[in-house]
Amino acid sequence: MPFKFEISAQSGAARAATLTTPHGPVETPAFMPVGTLATVKALDPADLVAMGASMILGNAYHLHLRPGDEIVRELGGLHEFMHWDRPILTDSGGFQVFSLAQLRTIDEAGVEFQSHLDGSRRFFTPEVVMQIERNLGADVIMQFDHVIPGQSDESSARDASERSIRWLERCLKEVERLEAIPAPSRAQLPQALFPIVQGGIHSHLRREAAERIREINDWPGFGIGGLSVGEEKDAMYQMIEVVDDALPKTHPRYLMGVGFPEDVIEAVARGVDLFDCVAPTRMGRNGAVFTRDGRLNIKRAEYRLDKRPLDPDCDCAACSRFSRAYVRHLFVSDEMLGLRLLSLHNVHFLLSIARGAQQAIIKGEYDTWSRDWLSRYRTSSPLAV
């Protein structure tokens, strides 16, 4: 069994576990830094290793367009291409096809769209996307799904969810077909296909989706999709609770695209194990800094002479060396090191939350730990970005 999920401790619905993959273990709860184009923006793989990141993300849509998934395969697969020998998960591109690409035509076969880069016509089907993800060679691959806006009505949400489930069956079939093809010169490592539970903000659709997905196969893990896409926070937390009940407690759950500090903490309490979010790097590039006391923006003049680190409670490679005044100077002067230091700090911040959560669960204190954490983070947040 190349994939295993072993739960070592529980604290309420929160779990501490180890997800084993062909490229090593992922201790959960885990935050997965996003490396859309085979690089976590502004960071070096060595930074991520130093911070203790285990699994990172790549994106099938983006890598298909640039440099091309066949080129990545030629170059030894994503791990070798980007020099990352720990686990990788690839997103299927479902979200990007529906958010970035232009002139979409969706039907049962798949999605025809124009590349956001050069307008070239492309056709993604469940089969094509499985081929792309196999070329990339990640450890965990996500199904191709039909993504809809967060507040979609019941009828649209139902249609998209049911289509996603039909596409899931095609994904599984294609993965099995690809696995049966004798490996070329190099051995192809096994990949874990995760289905994605959709259903918008409609509890019964989420429950139905989880049930039907479970009937198809004994999946190695589950994605929870279509959240943090415009709906209310409370609706999101409610949907996570519904899915927590509807999925097997024994398997890993990945809440896709969610990764603000408060969301990670609330979702861990509701049984989620894996997270990803571009916020730490994207917001870092705009000067936003996560701290234990809330967010601040380093560009503000008040930090001009501030000798304190970005977050006095942080031991990352930015905070252990540089002052707010220096990082502010780098930002104001458009120096790349500024982007790097904030990305580094923010990603480290999310990784630390996941580690803190894990330790609290092991001690059986997740409830107290998360309440204290959120209370300090929320009440003191003086400088929203």
Residues between 236 and 275 with contacts to a second copy, criterion CB under 8 A: none
What is the Cα–Cα distance from 206 to 242, expressed in whole angstroms?
A: 7
| Phi and psi, residue 59, nearest 5° | -130, 120
- Pick from 7, 13, 37, 189 the residue near a second copy by CB under 8 A: 37
> How many residues interact with a second copy (rule CB under 8 A)?
37
**Residue 257, Cβ neighbours under 10 Å: how many?**
22
- The Cα 184–Cα 140 span in angstroms is 21
Per the annotation, the verdict on 276 as an active-site residue is yes
Distance of CA 374 to CAs 74, 256, 264, 380, Å? 46, 21, 11, 10
Interacting span for a second copy (CB under 8 A) from 4-12, 134-142, 222-230, 337-345: 337-345
Q: How far is CA 19 from CA 49, 162, 190, 242, in A?
A: 18, 29, 15, 23
Our finding on whether 330 is near a second copy (CB under 8 A) is yes
Q: Is 49 in the site for a second copy (CB under 8 A)?
A: no
Q: Which of 6, 52, 83, 123 binds a second copy (CB under 8 A)?
A: 83
Is residue 60 at the binding interface for a second copy, with CB under 8 A as the rule?
no
Both structure tokens of 312: 């006095």
Cα Rg, the chain, nearest whole Å: 21
Long-range contacts formed by 163-167: CB under 8 A, 24+ apart? 163/108, 164/196, 164/198, 164/209, 164/225, 165/195, 165/209, 165/212, 165/213, 165/216, 166/108, 167/126, 167/143
- Return the SS3 of 139: coil
Is residue 178 involved in binding a second copy (CB under 8 A)? no
325 binds a second copy (CB under 8 A): yes
Dmax (CA) of the chain: 63
Nearer to a second copy, 73 or 206 (CB): 73
- Given 10, 114, 323, 381, the residue binding a second copy (CB under 8 A): 323
Q: CB under 8 A: which stretch of 38-46, 211-219, 239-247, 348-356 binds a second copy?
A: 38-46
Report DSSP letters for 221-283, one per residue.
-EEE-S-SSSS-HHHHHHHHHHHHHHS-TTS-EEETT---HHHHHHHHTTT--EEE-SHHHHH
How far is it, in rounded angstroms, from Cα 114 to Cα 208? Answer: 33
Is 115 among the residues that bind a second copy (CB under 8 A)?
Answer: no
Q: How far is CA 118 from the centre of its chain?
A: 26
Q: Which stretch binds a second copy (CB under 8 A): 13-21, 43-51, 106-114, 363-371?
A: 43-51
Of 49, 75, 173, 217, the one binding a second copy (CB under 8 A) is 75
Q: Which entry of 244, 273, 276, 311 is annotated as an active-site residue?
A: 276
Q: How far is the CB of 109 from a second copy (least distance, A)?
A: 30
**Does 245 participate in catalysis according to the annotation?**
no
Q: How far apart are CA 314 and CA 202, in angstroms?
A: 39
Q: In this complex, which beta carbon is closest to a second copy, that of residue 66 or of residue 371?
A: 66
Q: Is 321 in the site for a second copy (CB under 8 A)?
A: yes
Residues 273-312 close enough to bind a second copy by CB under 8 A = 304-305, 307
45 binds a second copy (CB under 8 A): yes
In the complex, minimum distance from the CB of residue 332 to a second copy, in angstroms, rounded to a whole number = 7
β-pair partners for 242: none
Q: Which of 91, 145, 244, 273 is labelled catalytic?
A: 91
From the list 219, 175, 167, 174, the residue with the least C-alpha distance to 198 is 167
Q: Give least dist CB 37 to a second copy, A.
A: 5
Shortest Å, Cβ 376 to a second copy: 28
Instruction: Report if residue 335 touches a second copy, rule: CB under 8 A.
Output: yes
Active-site residue numbers? Answer: 91, 276
> What is the binding site for a second copy (CB under 8 A)?
37-39, 41-46, 66-67, 71, 74-76, 81-83, 304-305, 307, 317, 321-323, 325-326, 328-330, 332-333, 335-337, 339-340
